[in-house]
C-alpha cells in the first residue's frame, strides 16, 4: 500500500512565526502517521517551497492552515481542509487524519474554469464558496483583513524604526529650524515617514486584493488613499478595502457576458476606471463620519491611558496574551501602530511590553523550575529568551497549547502586569516592533525593562508552580 500524499500551505499575518511553526508541526505529524507531505509557506519573505501543479494533482488531499490568502483556487477539485493557522500548530494530526479518512470536503473555486483559460479574467475567490454559513463568512472576512495587515506590517515596522532612529539625533533633529537639526536624521525621518504613510493605502489594497485579486488591489489602494487623506485612518482603510473588493466582484458579475476577446479591455481599462470612480463615489460621503469615529476612538484610548492605566493595561495585556499573534493580539497591535501615526507613543509601549512578556514567562519558568520540564522543553525555553527579546510572541504557543485552559490565563496575567506598569511609568516607544533592539530610542527604557521583567517573572512563578504540581501527579520523563 503506497503512502498517502498530502500538500499543505501555511500563512499567518506577520509571516514570522506561526507560518513556520504550523509547517513544522504538520511535517512532524505526517512523519508519525507515515504520510508523505510537502508544505508551502507564505512568510514575510514570500512563498517558499512552492507547490507545483503536478504535486497538487498527485496529492490525495490539501491542508490550508492560513489566516491570509494563499491562492486556494489552485486546489479546485481536491479534498481540502481549510483551518486557521493556529490549528495547524495545535492539532496537525487531526488535520492529516481528515485527509487519510477521506473526511475533507471537495473544494470548489468559483473562478476555476475562467482563470485557467485566461489570467485576465479574475472572478470571485473562495470567499463566495465560504459564504454558506455565518462561521465561514466570519473566517473569510478575517482572512481578507489579515491579508491586508500582513502586507502592511513591513511598511509600518521599517518606517517606524527609521523614524525612531532619527530621534537618536534629537527630538527635533529633523526640523531645519531647530538647533538640533541634522541632515542625516531628516533623511531617516522623511524616508521612514513616507513608508509609514503607506500603511492605510496598503492595508486597503491587499484586503481588496484578497477578495477580488489584482483588479481589487488598484481600487483598494485608491480607496485607502481617500480614507487616509480624509482623516478616516485605519478604520476607513479597512472599510475601503472591503468596499473596493466587492465593487470589483460586482463589476465582474455585470461584465461577465462580454465577449471573451475583450477580457484584456476589462482588466486594463474597465475595472480600474469604473472601480476607481465607484470607490470615490462611495467613500466621499462616508469619510466625514468615519473620521469622527476614528478620532473619537483614538481620543477615548488616549483618555483611558492617562486616567485609568490599570484598566487599559489589563485590556491590552489580556488581548496580547490571549492568542499570541492571533486576532485579539493583532487588534491591539494594529491599534498601537495607528496611534503611532498620530504621535501617541505611549499606547504602543504597553502593547510591546505585553507581546514581549509571554515567551519570557516561559523562558524564566524553564530556568527557575528546571526539573519540572523535559530537556526538549528547556531547550525551547532558552530560545524563548531570544524570541521574547525581539518581540516574537509566538514562542510561547507550543507550551500554552499543551494546556491552554491553565496556561493562557497565566500568560495573560503576566502580560497585563507588564502593560499596566508600562502605562503607569509613562514609557514611550516610537518603534512598532523590534523588542529590546529599539531600547536606545525608548523614553523610560529602564522602567520599560523593569515592567516587562516584573510581569514575566510573576507569570513564570505561577507557570512554574503549575508545572511543579503537575509533575507531582505525573513525574517528568526525559
Q: Kindly report the three-state secondary structure assignment for every residue of the chain.
A: CCCCEEEEEEECCCCCCHHHHHHHHHHHHHHHHCCEEEEEEEECCEEECCCCHHHHHHCCEEEEEECCCCCHHHHCCCEEEEECHHHHHHCHHHHHHHHHCCCCCECCCCCHHHHHHCCCCCCCCCHHHHCCCHHHHHHHHHHHHHHHHHHHHHHHHHHHHHHHHHHHHCCCCCCCCCCCCCHHHHHHHHHHHHHHHCHHHHHHHHHHHHHHHHHHHHHHHHHHHHHHHHCCHHHHHHHHHHHHHHHHHHHHHHCCCCCHHHHHHHHHHHHHHHHHHHHHHHHHHHHHHHHHHHHHHHHHHHHHHHHCHHHHHHHHHHHHHHHCCCHHHHHHHHHHHHHHHCCCCHHHHHHHHHHHHHHHHHHHHHHHCHHHCCHHHHHHHHHHHHHHHCCCHHHHHHHHHHCHHHHHHHHHHHHHHHHHHHHHHCCECCCCCCHHHHHHHCECHHHHHHHHHHHHHHHHHHHHHHHHHHHHHCCCCC
> Is 320 designated active site?
no
Q: Given 7, 9, 12, 222, which residue is catalytic?
A: 12
Residues that are catalytic: 12
Amino acid at each position: 500500500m503506497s503512502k498517502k500524499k498530502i500538500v499543505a500551505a501555511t500563512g499567518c499575518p506577520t509571516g514570522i512565526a506561526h507560518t513556520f511553526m504550523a509547517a513544522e508541526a504538520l511535517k512532524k505529524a505526517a512523519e508519525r502517521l507515515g504520510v508523505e507531505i510537502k508544505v508551502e509557506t507564505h512568510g514575510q519573505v514570500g512563498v517558499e517551497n512552492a507547490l507545483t501543479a503536478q504535486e497538487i494533482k498527485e496529492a490525495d488531499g490539501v491542508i490550508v492552515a492560513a489566516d491570509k490568502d494563499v491562492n486556494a483556487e489552485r486546489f479546485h477539485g481536491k479534498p481540502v481542509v481549510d483551518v486557521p493557522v493556529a490549528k495547524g500548530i495545535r492539532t496537525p494530526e487531526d488535520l492529516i487524519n481528515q485527509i487519510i479518512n477521506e473526511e475533507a470536503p471537495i473544494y470548489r473555486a468559483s473562478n476555476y474554469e475562467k482563470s485557467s483559460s485566461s489570467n485576465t479574467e479574475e472572478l470571485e475567490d473562495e470567499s463566495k464558496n465560504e459564504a454558506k454559513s455565518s462561521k465561514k463568512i466570519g473566517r473569510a472576512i478575517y482572512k481578507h483583513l489579515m491579508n491586508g495587515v500582513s502586507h502592511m506590517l513591513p511598511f509600518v515596522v521599517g518606517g517606524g524604526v527609521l523614524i525612531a532612529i532619527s530621534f537618536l539625533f534629537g527630538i527635533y533633529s529633523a526640523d531645519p529650524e531647530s538647533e538640533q537639526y541634522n541632515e542625516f536624521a531628516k533623511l531617516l525621518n522623511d524616508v521612514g515617514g513616507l513608508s509609514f504613510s503607506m500603511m492605510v493605502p496598503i492595508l486597503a489594497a491587499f484586503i481588496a486584493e484578497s477578495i477580488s485579486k489584482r483588479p481589487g488591489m488598484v481600487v483598494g489602494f485608491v480607496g485607502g488613499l481617500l480614507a487616509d487623506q480624509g482623516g478616516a485612518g485605519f478604520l476607513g482603510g479597512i472599510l475601503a478595502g472591503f468596499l473596493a473588493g466587492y465593487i470589483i466582484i460586482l463589476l465582474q458579475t455585470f461584465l461577465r457576458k462580454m465577449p471573451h476577446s475583450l477580457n484584456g479591455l476589462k482588466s486594463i481599462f474597465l475595472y480600474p476606471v469604473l472601480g476607481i470612480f465607484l470607490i470615490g463615489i462611495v467613500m466621499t460621503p462616508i469619510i466625514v463620519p468615519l473620521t469622527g469615529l476614528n478620532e473619537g476612538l483614538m481620543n477615548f484610548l488616549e483618555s483611558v491611558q492617562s486616567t485609568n492605566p490599570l484598566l487599559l493595561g489589563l485590556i491590552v495585556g489580556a488581548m496580547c496574551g490571549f492568542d499570541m499573534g492571533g486576532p485579539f493580539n493583532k487588534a491591539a497591535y494594529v491599534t498601537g501602530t495607528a496611534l503611532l501615526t498620530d504621535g501617541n507613543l505611549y499606547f504602543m509601549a504597553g502593547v510591546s511590553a505585553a507581546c514581549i512578556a509571554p515567551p519570557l514567562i516561559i523562558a524564566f519558568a524553564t530556568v527557575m523550575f528546571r526539573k519540572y520540564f523535559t530537556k526538549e522543553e528547556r531547550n525551547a525555553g532558552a530560545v524563548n529568551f531570544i524570541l521574547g527579546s525581539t518581540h516574537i510572541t509566538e514562542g510561547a504557543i507550543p507550551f500554552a497549547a499543551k494546556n491552554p485552559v491553565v496556561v493562557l490565563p497565566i500568560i495573560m496575567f503576566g502580560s497585563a502586569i507588564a502593560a499596566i506598569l508600562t502605562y503607569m511609568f509613562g514609557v514611550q516607544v516610537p518603534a512598532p516592533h523590534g523588542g529590546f533592539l529599539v531600547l536606545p530610542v525608548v523614553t523610560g527604557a529602564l522602567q520599560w525593562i523593569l515592567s516587562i521583567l516584573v510581569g514575566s517573572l510573576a507569570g513564570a512563578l505561577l507557570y512554574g508552580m503549575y508545572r511543579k504540581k503537575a509533575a507531582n501527579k505525573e513525574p517528568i520523563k526525559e
